[in-house]
Amino acid sequence: MEDTLTSRKPRTRDDLLFDGLINGILLFVLIVTLIPLVYVVMVSVTPMGEKSSLFLPPTQWSFSAYIELLKQPAMLRAGLNSVIITVGGVLVSMIVTVLTAYPLSRRDLPGRKIISGLILFTFLFNAGLIPLYLVIRDLGLINSYWALLLNGAVSVYNLFVMKNFFENLPDSLEEAARIDGASELQILWHIVMPLSKPILLTIGLFYAVTSWNNFFDPILFFSDREMMPLPVILRDILTGLNSADYAESTSNTTSHPEALKMAAVVLTTLPMLLIYPWIQKYFTRGTLTGGVKE
């Protein structure tokens, strides 16, 4: 340890300038990222009659905008729809991705390169919007949650990241399990899955964020307003809060219209912000290990 410390080269002026430049860029990105978030939160808790400010918090904090939004049946219904789409989407996507990535990670799989090439082809050349809509319509999935769950069941990028992670696992563990008589499904469930916790949580987060923020597909496949998720309702609130129809339904509101808009933004983004810290320690490891092929 002492040899390592004594042999460390002294930092030159260029090293210090480089570190200062990197820290300055990171600080700039942090400020640019935080200012809109702080502004949204400050406006959402500003009471009626008080002017909101970008840099000063309100003199009195009011959560009436959140309470009013949570009393709206449309908001609660949209939240439930988003939960169904996100939970169902993550379950379907993880099952399909794991069961596709694991066989492709086996080097003795017949036709492995051809199958991987065909999957990669769909990533590079998309069929387009109209064929996708016609397929969903002919399957009878219009106004069905399955239209979103099946459409986003597999991400090719996530599939290959998970495949690379499986390829980096020690072969000796699986060979020992095979000698003991374990089947491929038993090896996957009892050996591979417990060792793949970082990549499973990382890919699960990718799918969860994608499903939660899905805005375009519900508009394309749902004509029933009762099935719309939070992003669509948020769009309606942000663009239609001052319209005559919405003003009638909120004529008795005690919150500023801008506070209602910002509170809707916070409620829509809050679930993903709460989930990320719980799996942050696995995120970097899962991304690096799956993204780099040894």
Domain boundaries, the chain: 14-61, 66-287
pLDDT attached to residue 160:
92
Ranked by mean pLDDT, the top range of 21-35, 117-131, 158-172 is 21-35
Task: Identify the pLDDT of residue 115.
Answer: 92
Q: Which residue has the higher pLDDT, 156 or 3?
A: 156
The answer to whether residue 113 scores a pLDDT higher than 80 is: yes
Give the model's pLDDT for residue 244.
44
**Per-residue pLDDT band at 8 (split at 50, 70, 90):** low
Distance (Å, whole) CA 59 – CA 37: 19
For residue 1, pLDDT over 50 is answered with no
Three-state SS annotation for 197-212: HHHHHHHHHHHHHHHH
Residues 71 and 261 sit within 8 Å (Cβ to Cβ): no
User: Could you read off the pLDDT of 220-276 as tens digits, one per residue?
Assistant: 999 888 899 999 988 888 887 544 444 444 556 677 788 888 888 999 988 888 887
Nearest Cα to 93, choosing from 189, 204, 197?
204
The pLDDT of 2-30, averaged and rounded, is 80
pTM: 0.81
Instruction: Please report, rounded to a whole number, the percentage of residues in the chain having pLDDT higher than 90.
Output: 32
Backbone angles phi, psi at 168, to 5 degrees: -85, -5
User: Mean pLDDT across the stretch 48-76?
Assistant: 82
pLDDT for res 211: 92
Domain 66-287 bears CATH identifier 1.10.3720.10:
yes
CB contact at 8 A, 116 and 104: yes
Query: Is 90 exceeded by the pLDDT of residue 25?
Result: yes
Q: Closest Cα partner for 224 from 135, 100, 141, 130? A: 141
- Which helix H or strand E contains 243, and what residues bound it? none
pLDDT, position 207:
92
